[in-house]
Amino acid sequence: MLYGALDAKKGIEAAGNGLFIDPDNLPLKANLGSLILLKAKQAEQHGETDERNGFLKKAKEIFLELQATAWDPGFVKYRLGRILRLQGKFDEAIKLLESAKGKDVGEKKIKAEIDKANAKNDRF
């Protein structure tokens, strides 16, 4: 289970090892970014603000790298929009989320993130 709370650390390690072997594996890089977002959520739940913000920064770097490759742009915009919202950059988040469309992102998820950004909600 790659996305379970208990397995996030192991998943990050496994994804990192996979990227060491195949650094051009973009889906794996996206999984790594998603796992790091999960760690940010866990840090938030434990009141570890600095750690949360560090994980958000790292996840943002990964998704910006993916954006530069044009890999699954809808998914990447959704993830970046979510990260911007979590960083309190609500207007930027809304703009990016409104342009996010893709096979891996449903309209309900996008709408939920936009609603949270409109409500100035910077929590998971």
Residue 3 has pLDDT above 60, yes or no: no
Euclidean distance between CA atoms 100 and 51, whole angstroms: 27
pLDDT per residue over 11-70, tens digit each?
A: 899 999 999 999 999 999 999 999 999 999 999 999 999 999 999 999 999 999 999 999
> Which position has the higher pLDDT, 45 or 1?
45
Q: How many CB atoms lie within 10 A of CB 103?
A: 8
Average pLDDT over residues 90-110: 91
Find the DSSP H helices in the chain.
8-21, 26-45, 49-69, 73-86, 90-98, 107-118
